[in-house]
Amino acid sequence: MKKPGNILIVDDNRGVLTAVQLLLKPHFEKIITLTSPVTLTSALREETPSVVLLDMNFASGINTGNEGLFWLQEIKRLHPSLPVVLFTAYGDIDLAVRGIKEGATDFIVKPWDNQKLVETLLNAALPADNRKNGQNAPPMTSSMYWGESSPMQQLRSLVEKVSVTDANILITGENGTGKEMLAREIHLLSPRRNKEMIAVDMGAITESLFESELFGHMKGSFTDAYADRPGKFETANHSTLFLDEIGNLPYHLQAKLLTVLQRRSIVRVGSNQPIPVNIRLICATNRNLSEMVQNNEFREDLLYRINTIHLEIPPLRERPEDILPLAERFIARFCKQYDKALLRLSDAACTKLKAHPWYGNIRELEHAIEKAVIICDGNELPAELFQLPKRAELSRSENNISTEAATLEEMERKMIQKALDTCNGNLSAVAAQLGITRQTLYNKMKKFGL
């Protein structure tokens, strides 16, 4: 197999240079090493490397990592298309993330994994069109809005530190706070970002298909199993697996998930052959898992396994300074989607939006903005377009279900909400009370945004 070309490595640690040089010798035609970036520009004039491996810190009295960013900018100024992979210690992760935003192709954390280092550099050395971005991988762009509030900035700082590790993460927060979006942001900042994140809605998987969906099955293992099929764990190998609504996983199935996480291997339905899997696990829930453990509804050992790092997304009402910027982002998106000129919020509308408690959080705000954009006839969104009921009004209407409800759907939503409140969110109890299956209940909850 033809080697991809030359690589230029810049690191002031001669031991690191020697180790990396020996590791990469079978994979590159020529390896150029520099112990100082001072001669970097002249080296780039003399050689034409396929990729540069650039350390973030050098022995020049500057140990903040900013020196690495400076030389990254110099490389991109002289050779805009030259791939640069940053070589960084754990403490420089924030700077490495900045480096990605400023044009670096990827980064490697010291101490490094040999296979990961080789794969990353070989991938970066390929022409841009041929780089392995993973099958159906999303573009490398972030849709996460962090805002300016102190709680979100603290969360952002923590996210940027833990994203580059393989630690299991549990994301908690109320409905509509953006837990899946945060999971995708973590994946985007991780070394696994070149493969697509696999998301699984645990509440939407029927109990009978749980093992098949997550672990896969063999041909003939059950009716309609016409071919071998990998499960979500296999599909997410060397990537991130996001298990949403983990709190809705029935207790008797939690042991099967725990076994896979402990063994780091799966066995397909109908097979006895274990298959190793290398995944980064992110889970999310709007439920209190510690309380569920006390009530014997969630396994304590599973909670410990998925909760290495806990990230709590604050509700929108606790960061009111983010309401209007988020609203403006949604206005821009929906105006484009519905082919309208860009609308603006009236002063009265701004006041109304800021005063609303947004118990449905970002999702409620998004739906309110979309509705207002659709029905607006002018070039401004007036306050009257936003019909925002208070929670007290919702409670009264839900406790007094009557024929005044405008549609059967509204009555159904109110009945489900009342049952959820009565049963303290226990979906099995709610389904039994309403006389429907758990799966039907979950589908209706998703439909009504409950």
Assigned domain for 138 exists: no
Confidence of residue 394 (pLDDT cuts 50, 70, 90): very low
Give the per-residue pLDDT at 52.
93
Query: Do 216 and 308 belong to one domain?
Result: yes
CA distances from 251 to 84, 152, 173, 419, 442 (A): 47, 33, 21, 21, 17
Contact criterion met (CB below 8 Å) for 323 and 354 = yes
Confidence of residue 62 (pLDDT cuts 50, 70, 90): very low
Tens of pLDDT along 283-310?
999 999 999 999 999 999 999 999 999 9
Query: Do 293 and 183 belong to one domain?
Result: yes
Give the per-residue pLDDT at 294.
92
Query: Do 115 and 182 belong to one domain?
Result: no
pLDDT at 400 over 70: no
Cβ contacts of residue 171 below 8 Å, gap of 6+? 179, 182, 183, 282, 283, 284, 285, 311, 312, 313
Give the per-residue pLDDT at 140.
47
Assigned domain for 79 exists: yes
Nearest-Å Rg of the Cα atoms of the chain is 26
Query: Do 294 and 328 belong to one domain?
Result: no
Confidence of residue 235 (pLDDT cuts 50, 70, 90): very high
Query: Do 326 and 300 belong to one domain?
Result: no
Give the per-residue pLDDT at 138.
41
Range of the structural domain that residue 327 is part of:
317-385
Give the per-residue pLDDT at 203.
79
d(CA 79, CA 57): 21
Assigned domain for 143 exists: no
131-139, long-range: CB < 8 A, 24+ apart: 131/194, 132/194, 133/194, 133/195, 134/194, 134/195, 134/196, 134/239, 135/195, 135/196, 136/196, 137/194, 137/195, 137/196, 138/184, 138/196, 138/197
- Residue whose C-alpha is closest to residue 384's, from 357, 341, 327, 346: 346
Tens of pLDDT along 36-56?
888 888 888 888 899 999 988
Residue range 251-273: average pLDDT?
A: 92
Confidence of residue 142 (pLDDT cuts 50, 70, 90): low
Assigned domain for 141 exists: no
- Find the range with the poorest average confidence among 82-86, 280-284, 341-345, 434-438: 434-438
- pTM for the predicted model, two decimal places: 0.62
Confidence of residue 90 (pLDDT cuts 50, 70, 90): low
Q: Which residue has the higher pLDDT, 126 or 162?
A: 162
Query: Do 252 and 341 belong to one domain?
Result: no
pLDDT at 210 over 60: yes
Query: Do 233 and 296 belong to one domain?
Result: yes
Query: Do 155 and 227 belong to one domain?
Result: yes
The helix, strand and coil proportions of the chain, stated in percent and rounded to the nearest 5, come to 50, 15, 35
Beta partners for 392? none
Amino acid at 225: A
